[in-house]
Amino acid sequence: MKVVCAGEAMIELSIDAPGRQIGFAGDTFNTAVYMARALPEGAVDFATVVGEDALSNRMLAFFEAQGVGTGLIRRHPVRLPGIYSIAVDADGERSFAYWRDQSAARTLFADGFDALHGADLVYFSGITLAILPPEIRTALIAYLAGFPGKVAFDSNYRPRLWPSENVARDVMEMAWGVCDIALPSLDDEMALFGDADADAVLSRFHGYGLTEGALKRGATGPLPLDPDAPVGDFPKAEKVVDTTAAGDSFNAAYLAALLGGACGAEAAQKAHALAMQVIAAPGAIVPTA
């Protein structure tokens, strides 16, 4: 089994967390970590670009310590990793500030798509697409259109990363058109496409021909994209400390369960359970013990 998660990992500055101010995180990297914990050793690689600086060295060591393969990571001779700061309010909701415009990860796939060759599953996100130059993102989507393995995608819409809503919509629709497993979030889809509610989002996805995956709805629990699948009952989290990586961890558990032979309903239950564990602790990557 070979899984490749592609995107950007950044240096995380947690300004409200004395003793652990510096960490490493990023949407697809977070998913890679939680997938690596659920799948056999060596199954998950992360494709990105980092620098040749001391913090990049620490970042790679952290990846390896989390069980994520680093063999597909390229090192840029000049550029550095992106940085973001995170502050969390009393309800666990986050606010961010970013320094990433010239990050090394923005050169991802500038040398082609060899990093994805031979993967059984490729996972990427709207953030992956947003940081790429337009010509590279178009080439990536075209490459994935003929990809022999499975392709999973989460739009993870972040308006500040896009030049306009129109560009973001066009790119996201192209991405949904090449994926096999869709993992959208209700708030992202409503914000970008103007859908009135979950039913409208599901209808649009069925129009794309997508029936494998789940529509994430936060505390309410996910809805299956398959119109014939049962809608499960999902408990609400009793404790919310930090909602960072809730969706990323959900995606990880969902995909890992599918790769392990679970049906969509079972995958959704496992995914919701992991997301509840993650939001009950601070930071994107929670300790294993």
Q: Please report whether residue 285 resides in a domain.
A: no
Single-letter amino acid code for the residue at 49: V
Report how far Cα 39 is from the mean position of its chain's Cα atoms: 17
Residue 186 located in a structural domain = yes
Residue 190 lies in a domain: yes
Q: What is the mean pLDDT of residues 220-241?
A: 93
pLDDT of residue 94: 67
Report residue 23's pLDDT band, with 50, 70 and 90 as the boundaries: confident
Record the pTM.
Answer: 0.94
Establish if 223 belongs to a structural domain.
yes
Kindly list the distances between the CA atom of residue 247 and the CA atoms of 19, 79, 148, 217, 219, in Å, as whole numbers in the listed order. 26, 29, 26, 9, 11
- pLDDT the model gives residue 20: 60
Range of the domain at 47: 3-279
Closest CA to 105 of 81, 139, 138, 77: 81
Question: In whole numbers, what is the pLDDT of the chain averaged over residues?
Answer: 94
From the list 91, 133, 79, the residue with the least C-alpha distance to 240 is 91
Whichever domain contains 230, its CATH number is 3.40.1190.20
Q: In the prediction, which pLDDT does 13 show?
A: 84
pLDDT of amino acid 123: 98
The span from the CA of 17 to the CA of 26, in Å, is 18
The pLDDT score that the predictor gives to residue 165 is 98
Say yes or no to pLDDT of 16 above 70: no
| pLDDT tens-digit readout, 123-180 | 999 999 999 999 999 999 999 999 999 999 999 999 999 999 999 999 999 999 999 9
Catalytic residues: 248
Q: How do residues 85-95 score in pLDDT, each as one tens digit?
A: 877 777 766 67
38 or 92, which is more confident: 38
| Residue 288 falls inside a structural domain | no
Query: Does residue 150 belong to any structural domain of this protein?
Result: yes
Q: Is residue 287 part of a domain?
A: no
Q: Looking at residue 158, what is its pLDDT?
A: 94
Q: Quick check: 43 pLDDT over 80?
A: yes
Please state the domain count of the chain: 1
Q: Is residue 244 part of a domain?
A: yes
